[in-house]
A and B are shown apart, each in its own frame.
Chain A
Amino acid sequence: MASSSSSTPAKKPKLKITTNPNWLELPRDITSNILQRLGTVEILKNARNVCPYWWNICKDPSMWRNIDMGTVDLYFEPAIRGTPDLDDRLVKMCQYAVDLSSGHLEKININSFGTDALLKYIADRASNLQHIRLASCCQISDEGWCEVAKKFVLLKEIDISQGFQSKKSLEVIGQSCPLLKSLTFNGTSDQSLINCDDEALIIAKTMSGLCHLDIHGNPLTDVGLIAILDGCPLLKSLDITRCFNLEFSGNLWRRLHNQIKNLEFGLLNKKDLEIWEYLSESCFNIFDSNVNSYYEMVDSEDEDEDEHEDEDEGIDDDTNA
């Protein structure tokens, strides 16, 4: 083994550790790497109170590119549960975090406590926002979105799950967010069985860059679905669970399967057994033994259905052509 004349490596190692590593000597970006993985509430309530050095790190805008207050668990954490005016406090906390981001905010995830005012607060301070999730935020209205959509031009991903937005919000979003690649838009209103393609047509017309779309529970019909397939050529992932007005007439189902790599549809229409059998014949390996039990579960939930007898026959009758 020849001894080399120069044994110093090209670059110094990031950290020289001794037998008793002192965590305070860690470079900021290392500590920040760990701390960023804690949720926003965790950082603000605990991590940053550990010592002045960490307090200081937690003020760095780079720590606040991602604000995650999206878990429902938040409401059940022992330390938080039962706090009066919880939603107000969470709003304030969120605003504080948005301030800390100093315009570097890229991703935000909010569950339940979102309001129109908060949405505006974010829009005014986070023009670089690319991902937004507002789950179950019943205090955010169409007017809220109409006011702010034009400030969110860089948005790539919008998730408005279980919200009360209507096609009005979709319209402004479609007009204002040309970079949109992923949309989740499903409301709390119970799945309407009245055919309506308004929302589907807006999506088809204004969101041509979509790769992922989750519109479960939407009242769209085949017309709307075809429009979406036509208007969104990049669409690879689609969730049409509980879209009960779809009939898949003609070769729509095959086309859907050809175009969409990742299709979620749950149980489409428990009244329409022809589809059930057609799908089984098509053999896309989509049915497993779980489906029957899901069917029964859905069946028992919905007491308004008056075709139980037909359905029972259908399940057992495999040979029906």
Chain B
Amino acid sequence: MAQEASSSTSSKTISLKTGDGEIFEIEASAAKQMKTVQRLIDDLGDDITIPLHNVFSKELPKIIEYYKKDITGEITKDFEAEFVKDLNDDEVKVLFLAANYLDANKLFEFLSQNIADRLESKSVEYVRKYFGVENDFTPEEESKLREERAWSFRGIKEDE
């Protein structure tokens, strides 16, 4: 019964360091789900604390929480509903961008859907505010828009 050096990735943890200097632990199998992290591990080795310059201590724990559930196969609709329930629009945005940066596909798709759900049936003005976008159509562009909308819903206010 020779004692083998434990090299199973499932029990190994990786250290992640956020942009604001905090360190979090994550299971190696969860880290695999975040392709950016995995690439960093491949480059730097898994004994090193992996620096994540663009992710911060506010959002990383939530991301870790998601993938902790994922590796045990426990992500259900209820879990997902609960996960986003108390997040305000800004928090969802930040998480979404972090998931994009980390190349964490499952979380990314989930949050993308959640954002779409938050925008559904909202007015153009609301969406602009949500994304912090200005209405920078020129007057010429505006009139071109109206032309193209042959099926426009005349008489219906679009901005509420």
Q: Contact residues of A with B, CB < 8 Å? A: 1-2, 4, 6-11, 13-17, 21-24, 30, 33-35, 37-39, 42, 44-47, 49-52, 54-55, 77, 79-80, 83, 88-90, 92-93, 96
Cβ of B135 under 8 Å from chain A? yes
24 CB-based A-B contacts, threshold 8 Å: A1-B47, A4-B44, A7-B43, A8-B43, A9-B36, A14-B100, A14-B101, A17-B54, A21-B94, A22-B132, A34-B119, A37-B112, A37-B116, A38-B119, A45-B153, A46-B123, A46-B124, A51-B135, A52-B136, A55-B137, A77-B121, A79-B158, A80-B156, A83-B153
Contacts A16-B54, A35-B116, A50-B124 known; list 17 others, CB within 8 Å: A1-B47, A4-B44, A9-B39, A10-B42, A14-B100, A14-B101, A14-B103, A21-B94, A21-B97, A30-B100, A34-B116, A38-B119, A45-B158, A46-B158, A49-B158, A83-B156, A92-B150
Centre residue among B39, B51, B108, B124 by max chain A CB count within 10 A: B124
Cβ of B57 under 8 Å from chain A? no
On whether the beta carbons of B119 and A10 are closer than 8 Å, the reply is no
Q: Contact residues of B with A, CB < 8 Å? A: 36, 39-40, 42-45, 47-49, 51, 54, 93-94, 97-98, 100-103, 108-109, 112-113, 115-117, 119-124, 127-128, 131-137, 141, 145, 149-151, 153, 155-158
Which residues of chain A have C-beta atoms less than 8 A from B93's C-beta? Answer: 21, 23
On whether the beta carbons of B49 and A1 are closer than 8 Å, the reply is yes
Centre residue among A7, A33, A50 by max chain B CB count within 10 A: A50
Q: Cα distance A128–B155 when bound, in Å?
A: 37
Which residues of chain B have C-beta atoms less than 8 A from A21's C-beta? Answer: 93-94, 97
- Residue of B whose beta carbon sits closest to that of A13: B101
Which residues of chain A have C-beta atoms less than 8 A from B131's C-beta? Answer: 23-24, 50
B42, B44, B49, B134: which contacts A51 (Cβ < 8 A)? B134
On whether the beta carbons of B45 and A93 are closer than 8 Å, the reply is no
Which residues of chain B have C-beta atoms less than 8 A from A4's C-beta? Answer: 43-45, 48
> Shortest distance in angstroms between A86's beta carbon and chain B's nearest beta carbon?
9
Which residues of chain B have C-beta atoms less than 8 A from A88's C-beta? Answer: 151
A10, A15, A51, A77: which contacts B136 (Cβ < 8 A)? A51
On whether the beta carbons of A11 and B39 are closer than 8 Å, the reply is yes
> Shortest distance in angstroms between A265's beta carbon and chain B's nearest beta carbon?
27
A17, A35, A52, A90: which contacts B97 (Cβ < 8 A)? A17
Among all A-B residue pairs, the 9 with the closest Cβ atoms: A37-B116, A92-B151, A23-B131, A89-B151, A93-B151, A10-B39, A9-B39, A49-B124, A13-B101
Q: Cα distance A30–B96 when bound, in Å?
A: 10
Q: Cα distance A265–B101 when bound, in Å?
A: 48
> Shortest distance in angstroms between A17's beta carbon and chain B's nearest beta carbon?
5
A38, A47, A54, A79: which contacts B153 (Cβ < 8 A)? A79
On whether the beta carbons of B120 and A38 are closer than 8 Å, the reply is yes
- Residue of B whose beta carbon sits closest to that of A11: B39
On whether the beta carbons of B128 and A51 are closer than 8 Å, the reply is yes
Which residues of chain A have C-beta atoms less than 8 A from B94's C-beta? Answer: 21
- Residue of B whose beta carbon sits closest to that of A3: B48
- Residue of A whose beta carbon sits closest to that of B127: A50
Centre residue among A22, A35, A38, A39 by max chain B CB count within 10 A: A38
Q: Cα distance A88–B133 when bound, in Å?
A: 33
Q: Cα distance A2–B145 when bound, in Å?
A: 59
A6, A13, A16, A49: which contacts B43 (Cβ < 8 A)? A6
On whether the beta carbons of B122 and A46 are closer than 8 Å, the reply is yes
- Residue of A whose beta carbon sits closest to that of B135: A51
- Residue of B whose beta carbon sits closest to that of A7: B44
B101, B109, B151: which contacts A17 (Cβ < 8 A)? B101
> Shortest distance in angstroms between A14's beta carbon and chain B's nearest beta carbon?
6
Which residues of chain A have C-beta atoms less than 8 A from B122's C-beta? Answer: 46
Which residues of chain B have C-beta atoms less than 8 A from A22's C-beta? Answer: 132
> Shortest distance in angstroms between B60's beta carbon and chain A's nearest beta carbon?
13
Which residues of chain B have C-beta atoms less than 8 A from A37's C-beta? Answer: 112-113, 116-117
On whether the beta carbons of A23 and B43 are closer than 8 Å, the reply is no
Which residues of chain B have C-beta atoms less than 8 A from A55's C-beta? Answer: 137, 141, 145
On whether the beta carbons of B137 and A51 are closer than 8 Å, the reply is yes
> Shortest distance in angstroms between B23's beta carbon and chain A's nearest beta carbon?
12
> Shortest distance in angstroms between B90's beta carbon and chain A's nearest beta carbon?
10
